[in-house]
Every structure is written in structure tokens, then in C-alpha cells.
Amino acid sequence: MDEKKNTDSCIVKVLLTLVTMMVIDGSPANEWKLVWQDEFNYTGLPDSRKWNYEEGYIRNSELQTYTRDRRNARVEDGVLIIEAHQIDRADANVCASGNRIIQWWCRKTGREKGSFHYTSASLTTQSRFEWTHGRVEVRAKLPQGRGVWPAIWLLGARIEELGWPATGEIDIMEFVGYQPGRIHAALHTESRNHRKGNAATGSVFISDTGMSFHTYAVEWTSDSIDFYLGDQKYFSYQKEGQSPADWPFDDPMYLIINLAIGGGWGGKEGIDHAIFPQKYLIDFVRIYQHSTHR
């Protein structure tokens, strides 16, 4: 992108930010305050004052290693790029061990010797910005193909102390590549979660997840959580009980934006090895709170 186009893009983003601050779903500007944002109007690594990283193998039997490597996460031309790469690790890996338990684990997770290995990135605001209640907006263009599993989600800030799902989880957007026309939202608590098979979930159809940018948003209050695709509210969850097991959502949470490969859901229909590398593009992240919030 040449210098003039880059400058024009920055001007458009500033104007859009001002308009968004004036009206969000019809609400006057004085009801909302922009409290945190990244417009990605710079070049290089993600701003370390705003973003932290997950690293290594984390969850859900996924097949990627999360890294801090520039190849997996960088800012270029006004967008954050999270890029997943496929690497043939047949030369050496832990699955070459003769240990029966390790071999069983490798077969179960698809990491047997000679299988493909992946690198990707997971950016978080953990220890950078954690907050309670508000509106989160993320404008993104999603990767495509069987095996990709990008997400935008919130996790309770006390996760290391209390564990999952006690601190709650709000999945603003999940996409699995073998369902190219479907966006998912979910909430997990001790009372409701996927392990029990009763997580609160919603979904919406969208025809061009990989062709266009869309804004994925959530509005989170003390008694309800509403999920949006652009201006369309497609799922709403109302508080069901007073205990932390029913409603852990009055404590601080932090944001995660990640691109997983495979795993219990993303890899349910296998992985198309021909699709890599895959890019997950994020145009902006904006977090608002009501002006009266304390």
C-alpha cells in the first residue's frame, strides 16, 4: 500500500471512530465512553502496551503452537494480521518417543510422527487491560478452509486463581472453517458450559466471512449479554441466577483474539493442508463503557 492510500485509510478510520462514538445502536454519545482501542495505525509488532500473548500449546487438543513471532502476528497496512503456518515436523518431535502414553496422546491429537505441525498467534489484553461491563467491537475478516478456528472472546481475569469455567467465558465470535456460512456466540459458566452440554449458544448466517470485513460485537451489562453482527442483534442471554456459578460476569475480564488450528471443534471435519498459510485480519478493536460506569 502506498503512502497516500495508507494516509487516506487512517483518515477514514478516525472519521469512523468519531461517528461510532456519537451513536452506538441509537444511543446518544453521552451514554458511552471509549475506554480502550487499537486502530492498528502503525507498522510492526502489536503494541506491547496493549497486547500480551499466549504461548505454546494451550487448550482443546488444538494442533498449533502459539508464538510471539512476527510471522504469526504483525501490523501492516492498518490491520493486525494473525497468520497460521503449516510446518512439516517429520524430522523430530516428541511423538517419536517410545513411551506408550506419549504415543497414545500423539495419536489422539493428530501429532504422530510425520504429521503436520502449525504455528499461529493468540493476542490478549491480560494484565494490560481488564474491565467489567461494556461494549466490545472488533472488525475482522476471517480465515477460510477446513481446520481453521478463529475466535474473539472474553475470559475472567481470575482464571489462574479460580480455573475454568468458574470465572466465566463470553465468546463474541467463533468460526469453524467447515461451516463457512455460520458465526457462533456462546457463554460458559459453572452452571452452563460445553462440558455439561448446556452452554448458552447462538449463531447467525453470513455469506462472505472471508471476502469482507464485518464488525462482531457484544454488549455486556449486570443482567444481560447481547451479541451483534454489525447492527443485527442475533443472540441475547439474560441473567439466570444470583450465584457466581450462574453469573460470574460482574468481575473483570480480558479480551483474547486467536487463530486456532484443528482441535475438538475446529478439527472435527479434519484439516485441509492445502489452505495454508491463512490470515486473520483485524481492522480495529474498540471497548466502550457507559459514562456512568464505576
The one-digit pLDDT tens for each residue of the chain (294 residues) are 455 545 555 555 655 555 444 444 444 445 889 999 999 999 999 999 999 999 998 898 899 999 999 999 999 999 999 999 998 654 335 555 456 655 666 666 555 544 568 999 999 999 999 999 999 999 999 999 999 999 999 999 999 999 999 999 999 999 999 999 999 999 999 999 999 999 999 999 998 988 999 999 999 999 999 999 999 999 999 999 999 999 999 999 999 999 999 999 999 999 999 999 999 999 999 999 987 665
**Catalytic residue positions?**
169, 174
149, 135, 140, 137: which is closest to 214 by C-alpha? 140
Q: Compute the distance between CA of residue 274 and CA of residue 256 in angstroms, rounded to an integer.
A: 27
193 three-class SS? coil
Reported pTM: 0.83
The residues pairing with 186 across neighbouring beta strands, listed in sequence order, are 171, 201
The residues pairing with 261 across neighbouring beta strands, listed in sequence order, are 148
140: left (phi over 0), alpha (psi -120 to 50) or beta: beta
96: left (phi over 0), alpha (psi -120 to 50) or beta: alpha
Q: Compute the distance between CA of residue 215 and CA of residue 230 in angstroms, rounded to an integer.
A: 5
| Radius of gyration of the chain measured on its C-alpha atoms | 19
- Other beta carbons within 10 angstroms of residue 218's beta carbon come to 23
